[in-house]
Every structure is written in C-alpha cells, then in structure tokens.
Structure 1
Amino acid sequence: MTENQLEHELLPLPQSSFAQPPAPDHPQGPHQNQLLQGLAQHDIPLHPPSDSDSTTQNRPRLPGQSPRWTNHRRLILLVLLGSSLWAIVLVLVYYSQQDVKTQSKEITPTEKVTQCLSKACQRASVRLYTSVDPFSHPCDYFLITCGSDRPWPTTRGKKRSEGPPLNLQRQPKGAEMRTKKKEKNLDGNMKVEEILDRKNALMRYLQEALESKSRSGSAVQKVKDFYRSCLDTKSIETAGVEPFLTLVQQLGGWGISGQWNHSDFNSTLKVLIRQYASFPFFNLYVGRDPNEILRGTDRKYIQIDEPDLLIPIAWNNTAQKSIAKTQTLFPFLALCQKYLALLGAPSGSNIVHVGMFISLSSELAVATSPLSYRLLNGLLYQRITIKELANEAPVIDWLGCLQAAFHPHPVRPEDHVLLHNLPYIVQMSNVIQKWLTEHELRSSGPVRTFMFLKLLQTFTPALDSRFRETERRFYLALGHTVPEVPRWKHCITETEKGFDTVLPHILTDMATQRKAEEMLENIFSIFKTKLNHLDWGDNNSQQSLMKKVHSLTPRLWTQTESKRESELDLLFSEVNISTRSYFSNYIQLLDLQRQRRNRLFNQTQEDDIFSVRPFHSGNEVIFPMGMFVPPFFHATYPRAMNYGILGIFIAKDIFHLLLQDDPSLSEAGTAMAECVWAHYLSTTGRAGGGNATVLSAVQRREIWLQYSALQVAFQAYQQSLQRQPEDSALLHLSLTHLFLTSFAQVDCDTELYGDSMPLEPSFMITVLCSTSTLCPAALECPSKTQLHSLKACLPHSS
C-alpha cells in the first residue's frame, strides 16, 4: 500500500455535524505550536519513509555495501525514527494536558460524561438532529430568518421594518433545513412550531400527562376521567339537549316548556348561583381593595360587577350611555331563535319569548358602562355593606344570594363588599321589579326565561356542537374573530377550572423541583454580579437599582404548594366522575369552581396553572412550575441543555421584569449594542452602506438585554459545573456545543420582546464566541468580508 493510499484510507468519512465526535473547544495551545515549529526547523519528518519512496529506490549503492546491510540500516533508522516519533507524541500529549489545565474554565465532556438515554433525552435528540447545527453553516444560519426563505429578518410571520434587508442570492441551507423542520411532525402529534411557544409546551405536557395510562391516585384519576369525558364528543353528541332540558324541569320548568311552577324569583336565583355558578344579573368574584394594597393589607372582599350580557351593546360618547345598535340586533335575534329551536320551543311561541328576552336584555344593557368610563368617574371599588346594598337594590336578596355563592364562608349583613358600578345595580333592581310586577304572573315568565337562557350560556361548553356552532356564527356575524381551539386544549382549560389543586401535583416532582431551584439560584446570582459590574453613569440610579435587586429572592412557585397525594384524594373524595356523562361531570365542575372561589379569601395570590413567566411579588421574584416543562426543561436533560434553553429565557425574563421601570441604559450597554450592530452590518455586507438602519434606543436596549441574558445563562452554567463537574451529554456534542445549539434551536420562540430586535437572537452566538475560547469552532464567513472586530468593544466571555 503506498503512502498516498494509506492517507486516503485514513481520511474520515463524511458525517452529519451531530454524529461526529466533539471538536476541541479551544485552538491549538502555544506549546504545540512551538514544538511543531521546532520540528520543522530541524527537518525531522513527521511520517516514516515509505518503501515506495522514489528517492530511496534510485539512490546509488556505496562500494562494499550489500543489500542486506542496506536493509539492516533501514530497519535501524526506522526503529530510531519510530522511537523519536513516540517521544514527540508523548511530549505533545504532555503539553496538551498542561494546556488544558491552564484553560480551567473550558467546558468539554470528560471520561465521566455519559450519554443521556432517558425518554425525554431521546425526544430532545430527535429535535436537535432535525435542527440546523449553528456551527456547520454559520454564514447561513445566523443571517436567515426563522423558517422563512424571504431575505429579511422576521418575527411571527411579519416583516421587521427595523432590520436591514439581506442581499442573499440563494436560499441558504439553514433556511431550507428550518423549513423542513417546521413541516416535520415529532412524536406523531406535535410540530416544532407549536412546541416553541411556552404556553403550548405546557399545554402539551399536561395533555400527555392526562392521557397517560399510568397508575394514579384517586384524585389524579378523577381528573383524567373528567378530561377524557370532555374528549368523548361522540357521547356528548348522542346526549344532545336532553340533559339540559332535564335540568330545567328539575328547577321547576319555564314558560317555553309550557309547564313551570311559578317559584319565587330569589329562590330560583339562589339555586342557580350556588349549584350552577350562573349569575344572570351580576357577576361575583373575590379580590383585594387597591386602596388597601398600598397599606400592605391582604384582606379579600366580595366584589360585585356587571354581568356578561348576551346582547351586543355599544357606547355612545355623546350621550355617555350604552346603546343597542339596530344592525347588531338582527344577529342577536337569529341567535335567540336558534337557541329556542334547539331547546324544542314551539315555532308559534318562539317570537313572543324572543321579543321579551331582547326587550329585557336591552333595558339592562343600557345601564352598563365600559371600564374606562367607570374608572374615570370613580365607579370602581365602591365600598358598601351588604345591608346598605339591600336598601339600594331591594329586589335582590343580597344576603341570601351571597351566602349561597360563598357557602360555607361566613357572610354577614355588616360585611363590606366592593361595587364596580352602583348606578347599574340600582337600575337593574328597578328593571327586574317592573318586569316581575307587570309580566311575570300574567304571561309566560320573561324574567325566568332570561335566567334560564343565561343558564344555557353557562352550560354551552357541555352541550353538543350545535350550540357551540350557533354561538360561533353569532360572533362571526358581529365581526369578531373566533379562533379554532383544538378539543384537547379546550378540555385542558375546562379541567383546570375545577381541578386547579390537582394539576400542580402532576407538574411537580422532587427531581424537577430540586434542579429548577438550583438553576434559579445560579442565574439570579450571576445576574446580580453582572449588574454590580455595570457602569450606569448615575450612581444614585445604580445604587437604587442594586438595593432593589439585592432585596429580592427568587422562589419556585408550585401554586398551592402542591399537596400530597393522600391529601388530594381526601379533598376530592366526594367528587364522583362519570366516564360517559360529561354533562353530569360539568355540574360537579361548577361546584368545584365555587369552592375554588372560596379559597381565594385565604390565599395570598390566585393560582394560575398556565402561568409561564415570572412575576414580582413583595420581596420575591416568583417562577411558576409551568415554565419547567419539556422541551425547554427536564430533570434528566443535560444541564447544558437546560441552561441553554430555559436558562436563557429565565435570564431574559429577569432583565425585563426588574429593569422595565428603569429607562436608563449604561454607557457600556449602549456601546455594546452598537458594537454588535456594527458586527451584524459587517457580517451581512452592509457596513458603510448609505441605507444602513440606525438603532433606536429601544433596539439598543433590547440587544444589550438579550446578549446579557445569554452571558448570564452561560456563566451560570459554568458556575454550576464548577460546583458539580459531572454532566451528561447528547448526540456526542461537547457541552459548550450542546449549550449553544440548544439555544439556537429555540431562538425563534415567540417572545414578547421580539419586535424590538433588529436581528435574530441566535446571532448573539457569534458575539459570544468572538470573545470566548470555549466555543467548539470559529464562527466566520469566508465568503463575506468581516471588517468589524467584536474583541475591541466587548468584555471577554470565558
């Protein structure tokens, strides 16, 4: 075999960037360079000569020199040369190890690193494998848009007017691969563009948990059964309207059915409020008084607001009152007629009931007013006792209704409530009294019909599709957009309304909680350190900000501090869920909502299982558990991946949350943003162009915040490795490679702040790698002239 053939055999086979072994995370050390230069100066060959060497074959034989001696001489030379090469190799290895030790901050897999093979990691591997490796095509990857082949940066499908158009002559490989990525289904039901949204990721995680067949405690199993009964649309369609008509008869009937017992108005109203969470004439909820919040009082009050009326209304600025527009009454008339037809009302009496319902609705509607008007005129949070309220609006048995709504919470006549439109409450009482006196006993009971049609509105989600379709067409006729919500997502939302104490139990496990708390602690610590080193130019502003930040503590919010499984089972022991009757399950859900409303009296803050962003409360920055779900986070993921995805989002959220009220930006931050922008223009070939976009103050601020967030997450991960050096790996990527690739995979996440960014967030990787020795490869574009150097204006990142 010739030397050329041998070299050909040793050439590596072409591989995917994710299949190759990890590249070194730093360039050749100075010791290796010195050794190689020395070898070159002394003409020491790096490979033994081959038998096919033409120089050796044609060299003349010396006199007296036998071929045998020549062969022995060659053998001796080969042995000596081989020994020399081994010595050189050993020296190189020695100096290489010494060079690694000098780079103590470097993040690379060690012999202790093992591949993550959990189910979550297998899914993550598929997502990473179908994504574009930013270090394979840096020229294309960082300049192309998120899943678009249009030559300009975009966010959420719309053009970013702030960004300069890129003069690309072809669709880069990065764009092509991203487009294919968006079309590819993962795990059979979840597309990449869906999982990149935090709220959708949480919903998908809950869906998988609720649809799993794993053994569960009694309470969790009841939640799963409720969810599955909601998904069982076949049984719902088969049941039709009969469950609702049966309920109406149990309540004494109404004039539309021809039989009703003329029961007392307030008696029926209290039953609707307590058992079915139906509030036909007003709304009830629990909350604090803003005037007391400033004094640090956490007391909760019953709050009484306007109802959600079916009839469409508009506000007349000239007359300063609400009106019912004629053009909107026709769709409303069609809605009411369709509802009564579905309920089996005789066609002959249909128009009479509809006419009275519209008339009564109109009289109530004109007494309402929009929130802006009520705020301007001081109609919100008016304090009044229940006894005083009964004098202002006597037609309602206020004490009895509030006791029914909040049973078993004690409600007394001297208790204060907060009103949000007293003029409406007074007018509502007068209107109902008039209709009860003039019509109720002599006709088919229009007030009762009004109450039952409002009850129908409460139960529409539990009835067959004809009712939902009727409602959808009504809103479309009014010009509203009605988004199509998948049934599974609708059922998760309905499940949360009553089982809000159980769903956090599904989200929370000790491994996730422990690793989430460690991440929060590291990121918040680095965040405070970074702020300490900033030069804000205003000492007073900086001291005030640092005092505020150092007084805060990050806390993982597990909603109701997740109860034990046995406690949940006892709490829901009286709840009976049917696997075939969603309507009966829905009735129990309404009672669970009432119990949830009562719990608000004793809770510091209302639970929100769907919360996916941190918020500031007192001296705490609270992070919901809903943030810590796949694909952004998992207890079995390598930490490099958790920090590279969710860690960066957390850091970004902290910057926005705590600096949003401070419009100032340090001089260093402004310089950094301009430096990044100059590098971006240079990379895209637009440096020095006359039409280069000038950054606004908001854009400079956003560039600084997003790059700072990447730095904080990266340094927090390094700090985590210093405390616990072991980490698992994925796809044989080095840890730095995995961190940055994970970030790049979700750089197109629909963030709230994307519109302020004139470039794609993943471009920040080029910025980080320009000042750090930890990146797996140099991110340069040979085909473009890069005139701008980031090293001159950015701090070192490693």
Structure 2
Amino acid sequence: MVKYERSSLSGGDDVFEEDPSSQTHAANNGSAANATNNSSATHTPTGKMEVASNAPPEVRFKHLKGKGVNETKWKGQSVSVKLWWERSTLERILLVVCLLLLLTVVIVAIVLATTRKQEFCLTEACITVASSLLMSMDKGADPCDDFYEYSCGTWDKHNPLPEGNNRWSTFGLLWQENRLVLKNVLESELNTTSSAELKAQDFFISCMDEDSIIEKLGAKPLLDIINLQLGGWNATGTFNTSTYDFNQTIRVLGTSYSEQPFFSLFIAGDDKNSSRNILQIAQSGLLLPDSSYLINKTEEDPVLGAYIKMMVTIAKLMGAEEEDAHRQMRAVLQFGQDIANISVRDTNTEDQDPEMLYHLKTITDLQGIMPAIDWLSYLQFLFNGTDIEITKDEPIVVYAPDFLQDMSNLILSSDPIVVHNYMIWRLVTSLMNLLSAAFRQADHDFDQVLSGKRSIPAKWRFCVSDTDASVGFALGALFVKHAFEGHSKAKADEMVDEVKSAFKRNLPDLPWMDEDTRVAAKQKANAIIDLIGFPDYILNPEKLDASYAELELNSSEYFMNNIRVLQFHVKRQLQQLRKTVDRGQWEMTPPQVNAYYAPQKNEIVFPAGILQAPFYDKDYPKSLNFGGMGVVMGHEITHAFDDAGREYDKNGNLYQWWNNDTIQRFNRQTECMVDQYSEYDILGNKVNGRRTLGENIADNGGLKSAYHAYLEWIREHGEEQLLPALGLNHKQLFFLGFAQVWCSTSTPQAARLQLLTDEHTPPRYRVIGTLSNSEEFAEQFKCPVGSPMNPKDKCEVW
C-alpha cells in the first residue's frame, strides 16, 4: 500500500529470493598466523617482557631469542671473590666489558621486541581479520590494473554460490548469519512476556509447518478467496459473467489483499510539504521484472516460454483444464505485454527528476485522467473502517499521468474476461508461494530460467525472511537482544558525525558550487537525521505490544496469517493520511543488512544488521571500519546531494535551493560519471550510467568523505599498528576494506537481470569505478597515470 521513496545501499542480494543483499570471511590457511612467529617469539602471551627473579643466587632473563641470545644465566655466589681478585687487571677489564656487551645485547633485544610490538597488531582480532582479508585477495593481480580482482579474486572460490541463491555476496553472508541467529531464537522457548515477540514466533512456526497443514490444504485457501469474494476465475471455470463487477473486484483486491494490478496507490510525505502525508499514485508493476522481457517477445523466447509454462501449471493446480489454461493464460500474457508497451521506463533524465514527475491533483482530476475506475467509490471503500472521510476534492499527487490514461484506455477496450483473468492472476502470483510445495516448485522452475537459481531455498531461510517481512520489528526486538552489542549504537553515531564533518570540510574545495549554495549545502548536511541500530520502542515491551495489538496470529494458519498481516499493514498505513509525517519511523527492520536515505525526511538509517563485521567491529583497525561502515555512512550522506536528493532542501521539501549556474555546472560534472559507467560491460551488456547515476555519485562521495574522516582520526590518535602478513599500510587497508565489502558472485542470468532492473552498478564496477576516480587511492598504491585504476581524466562531483 505504501511506497517509500528512498535510496538504499544495496539492491537485493538474491534477485527473487529474500536475501537483502555482508560477509564474515573464512579462516585463512595459517599464513597470517604464521607471520606472528617473527614478532611474538620475544614476548610472553601478554606481550610484555618477563623478568623472573627466583632468589639472590640466580638471576634469569627469559625469552631473549633475538640476536642469537636464547637464555643467559649466572650464579652470583659461585664466582668467588677470591677468584675475582686473583685475576689480572686486564682480565677484570675484559670481564666487565663482556658483561657490558651482554647487557647491551639484552637492551637491544628489548628495544627490538618493543619496536616489533608497536609495528604490528598481534591481537586475536587483528590476526583473524588479516587472515580473512588474505582469503579473498588475489595477490598475483596488479592493484593498478584491476583492484576488484586484487581484492576479491579468490573470494568466489571460498564462497561458492549456495543452493537456493542466484547471487551471493558479503551482504548475503551476513544476512545468512543474522537469519541463523533468528532461527535459533525462534526455535527455542522464548523467555519473554512480550505478546509481539510471541506473535513473531507463532508466524515462524506456522511457516515451518511441521504438521504439513499447508500441504493438506493445497490450493483451497486461495480458491476460497477467488470464488467467494472475487466472483471466481474464468480460467478454472468458476467465473460468472452475469454478476461480474469490475470496480467491486478491484476494490476488494486493494483493500483486503493489497493488490493493485493497474496502478500503485500509496500514502507518503508530500514532496512539496514534507510534514504532511498525502495520497499518491504511480504506474503499476509488470508481470516480469523489466519490460524488455515482455515487449516484442514470443513464447520462443526462453524466459517468456518458461513464464507461460508456469502460468499453465499454476492454473492446472487450481483446477483448470490444460487446453483451456493454455488459451486463457496466453490471453492474460498478451494483456500484460500490452501494459508493458505503455509503461514508462525510468531511463531518461526527466523521468528521474522529481520536479518533472510531481503533479498535484484532486480525485476529480484523477477521474478525468483514468475514467476506467470509479475513484471516489474505490477510495471510500478503501478507507471504510477508518475515521477518514474522502471527498472528490481530496488532494493526490499523480505520477506518470500519461501511463494512467493509456492504462484506462486499455482496460476499456479489452475483453472484460481477459481483464478479470489478469487481475486474478496478479493476486495468484502474489500469494502462490504461501501454498503447497507444488506451487513453490512451479515458481522455482520459472525462476531457474529467469535468474539461474538452482534450487529452492531451505525452508527455514524463507520462513525467517517472511517473518521479518511480516512482523519485522517484533522479530527485530529478538535480534537486538541476542545479537546486537550495546556499545555499537554509540560508536556508529560517533562515526556518522566524523564522516559528516569530513563531507562538510570538503565543500569549500568544490569549484563548481557558488558560495550561497555552499552555505545551504552545509546547513542541509547539519540537518540530516541519523537513525542507528533500531527504534527505541522495540525494547519497551508495552510499546512494542501496543504496536501489534490489532494483529492476531495463529501458529497453525500460515496462509491466513499472511492475509491478516496484509490487512493489518494496509489499515495501519491508511491511518497515516491525516497525520503529520513521523520522522522517527523506520522503513527497514533491525536485522536487515542494508542502509538508506529518505529525501523527504532528510534522514539516514543504519539497521543493527549491518553494524557488524566486515562493515564494523570494535576490535578491527579503524582503517577497516572507516573503509567498510564509514563508506556506507558517507554513501547515504551523499545521497542527500545526488542528482535526485539535491532537489530536496534541508527540511525534505522539493524546492530549488541551488542557483541555475550551479545546477548547470553540477550537471556537467555528473555527465562525466554517466559516460564513465556506461562504458562498463557485464557479459556483453553495458551498465546503464543514467539509471545508476545517483548510486554512483553516492559511492564516489561516500568513499571520499570516509577516507578524509579516517585521515582526521589518524591526526587525532596517531597511526595504527600494522596487520601482519598483508604488506599493506592502513591507508591502503582502507581501500582494501572498501573493496572487499563488494566481493560477490552470481549466475549469468542474475547478472543480466541486475543490469536491467537495479539502480546500483554491479559490484565489480562499484569498486573499479569509484577507486579509479580517487587520487588518494592512486597515490597509496602508486598507480602510474594512465593505468586502468588511475586514468588521466577522472570524474568528481562531491
């Protein structure tokens, strides 16, 4: 029901599975640990020189193995005074000299040992992280030719694509760990009195379906909805044309099942008055992830052929005859192709410009734009059960009015049976994975062709993710209690301030920005709200329980639990219409491995799930923390000033606060980046530099701000001890840590799908594109000018 306009750090880690797309590296083969032999041999386990005095007769210096000294001792009482005085003066002088020489050797050994201790960090955490960094690197690759290969060249050998995934990355690894934590919690007896947390467990149990209730029910739960509430489905022979009511069908779909086949209606902050929520409407989604899979394609195309096969299989599982299913599903597919033909693709500058997209209208205006739907009755039906009255003068922001008008014409000119079949098919696709294994298998068979996924994910993985999607903040409370260290929130908040300060210090150095805009940009940066870890209310059982009080769940009713969740969230979001925008409301759940910027709130958010290694660890060197989490923070801060974010002022309002000359110079800077990224190639397909521009600006600006924040940290605290075995200083480690966040692998099909649908550049080129624009990177790795990672001409915006 509600669409959130935000810029997130990462696209989904698995295009059609539940992974949101970080890694804890595997243990090394001992190379890092072995490197400690040369430096720790002169120390006790505490790292200190130990001097033991047993008794006056014997003094022993232990562990002096440097410079050829293993163990030296003498017995003071066994050297008689008589023998000493009987020796010649020369002998006594030589003996004193020898003793002084021995003392000198001991002192040198101590100094060398102390120097080595200061040079290298030999804590368990340092040795472990050095090992994990080495495990992903290809040391044979030239960092100045391809830094992604240098950083991640062996990552996929140690992290092969798991069963049930079409993509795998550091994000996926960390999300897998988070899900394992939650699985163990949900499968145990909860020591809690929170009804919300118990509801999360009930939902998970119903999904796991140990008693096979889902299998026994088969298609019945969905068929009951279609036949009893939606007038039946012609594909299964239960449709009654004499009682068919198009508007009633679309009302029930939207209100009870959050399904909107021909448009996307949502409530969100008004771009031009960010303190108020307002109705908004945009174009609908498509049958497939991108119009290119549908336009000018026939069943001979592998993807479209697999899709029609799935459609027929599902229809047969619901009672259709095969021949009739083929005929009717082909008509539904053709209708979906017609929608794709009129859809607006966000590939042009004006399509991404919020100012160009914004059209403030009324319901009366909308009726004129899209007359196929009775809008006033639709909205009044939708808000029935709330205390909100909708009239024909209700304001609504209309996006893509041309699409909505063409969509209306298509509905009115098409066979009503085909239109109805299409609506029911959209509902079926949204709910079929809640049914028995045969439905999930049919979906997987298609997904295998579309994205290359080789198997269905383990049930527990799906169920943890579904629980997170359904009751994520109740689940988040359990995650925070079991997996989130208390100090992480304060440390992250401190790091955000450091990176934000670095961003602001860079503003005077931007030659394309005029002084007034520079001042306003600093004010906007100061006004950015940061939310860290989790919303505080989830650790207050009374407040958490109150937030889920109206949701009733049953541990043996998985399908109906999902329907109740849909209706619960629809009602909750409808109730926001007359309320002031809640700037403390989270749009991601705490376990998620991601982050985002919300322009209407001027807000950056970092869930607890990402505040872990390899992004951040309190025992890691600061270079890696700034290269990981610091760049993430810089990325989200820079989104406030990317090609779309820059159009919103410090209060989140769509408003031109830059002067025209600065806008023109900014656009020239960004065109460099569009051209740069458009040259990158994945399996013969080019990256869309226009679609990915906002994320590329954020990557480049985020890296720069985080690096300068780290340099400031060094100025205040001094250089860190080196990590063993890597042969890299900490400025180089900063860039390595950044790069290894993006180590990943995928099937060829998933790689193509990402290019077509994701606003993020593929991981390899997020590393190469960003670092090849960095003078500091080239300086640290001594890359010659003109080398692939140090081109003569670089792109810079922030």
- Note whether the superposition's TM-score is higher than 0.5: yes
Structure 1 or 2, whichever has the larger Rg, is 1
- Looking at structure 1, the residues matched to 722 and 198 of structure 2 have their Cα atoms a distance apart, in angstroms, of 35
Give the secondary structure class of the aligned counterpart of 2:768. Answer: helix
State how 1:493-504 maps to structure 2 within 5 Å.
494-502=466-474
> Residue 747 in 1 paired to residue 739 in 2?
yes
Q: CA RMSD in A?
A: 6.1
**CA distance, structure 1, for counterparts of residue 357 and residue 92 of structure 2:** 101
What amino acid is the match of 2:433?
P
Among candidates 433, 454, 466, match of residue 426 of structure 2: 454
Of 649, 656, 668, 2:631 maps to 649
- Report whether the alignment pairs 1:712 with 2:719: no
Q: Is the 8 A contact 1:556 1:622 kept in 2?
A: yes
Instruction: Output the CA distance in 2 between the equivalents of 1:547 and 1:392.
Output: 38
Matching residue of 2:34: 16
Q: Deviations over 1:464-493 (max 9, x none)?
A: 34434545666888xx54656845665555
**Structure-2 residue corresponding to 1:7:** none
The code of the aligned residue for 1:279 comes to Q
Deviations 1:109-129 (Å, cap 9, x if unpaired)? 99xx9967xxxx6xx864533
**1:343 corresponds to which letter in structure 2?**
M
For the residues of structure 1 that align with 2:208 and 2:35, how far apart are their CA atoms?
42
Relative distance call for 1:218 and 1:74 in structure 2 (3 A) is farther
Corresponding residue to 1:301 among 275, 278, 294: 278
Output the CA distance in 2 between the equivalents of 1:759 and 1:324. Answer: 39
For 1:254, which of 208, 224, 232 is the aligned residue?
A: 232
Write the letter of the residue equivalent to 2:587: D
- Please give the residue correspondences for 1:410-425 in structure 2 after superposition, counting only pairs within 5 Å: 410-413=388-391, 414-419=393-398, 420=401, 421-424=403-406
What SS class does the counterpart of residue 613 from structure 2 fall into? Answer: coil
- Separation in 2 of the partners of 1:574 and 1:632? 39
2:252 corresponds to which letter in structure 1? V
The alignment status of 1:587 with 2:584, answered yes or no, reads: no
Write the mapping of 1:394-409 to structure 2, written as runs, cut at 5 A. 396-406=373-383, 408=386
Aligned 1:23-102 pairs, distance under 5 A: 69-70=86-87, 74=91, 77-79=94-96, 81-82=98-99, 86=103
- Is the Cα contact below 8 Å between 1:276 and 1:587 reproduced in 2? yes
1:313-360 per-position Cα deviation (integer Å, ceiling 9, x unaligned):
979xxxxx999978789777655433321111345765675577578x
Alignment match of 2:257 (pick from 251, 276, 280): 276
Residue correspondence of structure 1 range 786-797 to structure 2 within 5 A? none
Q: Check 1:84–1:560 CA distance in 2 against 1; reply closer, same or farther (3 A cut).
A: closer
| Equivalent position amino acid for 1:398 in 2 | W
Alpha-carbon distance in structure 2 between the residues aligned to 1:47 and 1:449: 87
Aligned partner letter, 1:748: Q
* 1:552 alignment counterpart: 525
Q: CA deviation at 1:576?
A: 3.5
Report the Cα offset of residue 260 of structure 1. 7.0
Measure how far apart 1:568 and its partner are.
1.5
Corresponding position: 1:519 with 2:495: yes
Distance 1:287 1:350 in 2: 40
- Equivalent-residue separation in structure 2 for 1:708 and 1:255 (angstroms): 57
TM-superposed CA distance for 1:89, in Å, is 7.1
- 1:69–1:128 Cα change, 3 Å: same
Distance 1:313 1:69 in 2: 101
What's the offset of the Cα at 1:590? 1.6
SS in 2 for 1:337: helix
Matches within 5 A, 1:128-139: 128-132=130-134
Give runs of aligned pairs for residues 169-318 of structure 1, distance below 5 A. Answer: 182-184=156-158, 194=168, 196-197=170-171, 201-202=174-175, 204-212=177-185, 213=188, 215=191, 217-227=194-204, 229-230=206-207, 236-237=214-215, 239-251=217-229, 254=232, 265=245, 266-287=247-268, 293=272, 296-308=273-285, 310=287
Structure 1 residues 125, 644: CA separation in 2 closer, same or farther (over 3 Å shift)? Answer: farther
Q: What is the alpha-carbon distance in structure 1 between the residues aligned to residue 638 and residue 105 of structure 2?
A: 54
Residue 22 of structure 1: CA displacement? 7.0
Q: Alpha carbons of 1:260 and 1:511: their partners in 2 closer, same or farther (altered >3 Å)? A: same
Alpha carbons of 1:658 and 1:620: their partners in 2 closer, same or farther (altered >3 Å)?
Answer: closer
Q: Which amino acid aligns with 1:241?
A: A
Mark the CA change 1:645 to 1:253 in structure 2 (over 3 Å): closer, same or farther. Answer: same
- The DSSP-based 3-state class of the residue aligned with 2:740 is coil
Q: Identity of aligned pairs, percent?
A: 16
User: d(CA) in 1 for partners of 2:182 and 2:777?
Assistant: 35
Structure 2 counterpart of 1:718, one-letter code: I
**2:317 matched to which residue of 1?**
342
Contact 2:342 2:406 in 1 (8 A): yes
Question: Residue 769 of structure 2 corresponds to which residue in structure 1?
Answer: 756
Q: Which amino acid aligns with 1:240?
A: G
Q: Determine which of 450, 463, 488 is the counterpart of 2:435.
A: 463
Q: 1:283 to 1:133 in 2, by over 3 A?
A: closer
SS of residue in 1 equivalent to 2:396: strand
Check 1:91–1:463 CA distance in 2 against 1; reply closer, same or farther (3 A cut): closer
Please tell me whether the aligned partners of residues 403 and 409 of structure 1 are also in contact (alpha carbons under 8 angstroms).
no
Aligned pair in 2 of structure 1 residues 185, 709: CA closer, same or farther (>3 Å)? same
Extract unaligned runs of 5+ from structure 2. Answer: 1-30, 43-66, 73-82, 644-661, 667-696, 743-762, 785-798
1:591 shift after superposition: 1.8
Once residues 135 and 238 of structure 2 are traced to their aligned partners in structure 1, the CA distance between those partners, rounded to angstroms, is 71
Aligned to 1:39: none
Q: Kindly state the Cα deviation for residue 384 of structure 1 after the two structures are TM-superposed.
A: 4.2
Structure 1 runs not aligned, ≥5 long: 1-12, 25-45, 52-65, 101-105, 146-150, 158-173, 316-320, 436-444, 666-700, 771-779, 785-798
Q: Partners in 2 of 1:396 and 1:619 — Cα distance?
A: 32
The residue type paired with residue 132 of structure 1 is: L
Tell me which amino acid in the other structure corresponds to 1:755. I
* Corresponding residue for residue 55 of structure 2: none
Cα-to-partner distance string for 1:167-204 (whole Å, 9 max, x where unaligned): xxxxxxx99xx766654469x9999x95534x653564
* Aligned-residue offset at 1:587: 1.3
Equivalent of residue 594 in structure 2, options 574, 589, 612 = 612
**Aligned counterparts, 1:634-713, within 5 A:** 636-638=618-620, 640=622, 643-650=625-632, 653=635, 657=639, 711-713=707-709
Q: How far did 1:415 drift? A: 0.9
Matched, 1:630 2:622: no
- SS for the counterpart of 1:279 is coil
Conserved 8 A contact 1:385-1:417? yes
Contact 1:643 1:717 in 2 (8 A): no
**TM-superposition CA deviations, 1:406-432 (whole Å, max 9, x none):** 452614122123443442364366458
Distance between the aligned counterparts of 1:537 and 1:232, measured in 2? 62
| Residue 598 of structure 1, CA deviation | 3.0
Gap change, CA 1:702 and 1:551, over 3 Å in 2: closer
Secondary structure at the residue paired with 1:302?
Answer: strand
Contact 2:307 2:446 in 1 (8 A): yes
Aligned to 2:796: none
Distance in 1 between the 2:570 and 2:778 partners?
A: 54
Equivalent residues in 2 for 1:437-448 (5 A)? none
**Equivalent-residue separation in structure 2 for 1:660 and 1:396 (angstroms):** 37
Distance in 1 between residues matched to 2:196 and 2:740, nearest whole Å: 38
CA 1:405–1:611 in structure 2 vs 1: closer, same or farther (change >3 Å)?
farther
Tell me if the contact between 1:615 and 1:623 (Cα under 8 Å) persists in the aligned partners.
yes
Report the secondary structure of 1:499's partner residue: helix
Question: 1:228 & 1:746 partners in 2: Cα distance?
Answer: 39
2:56 is matched with none
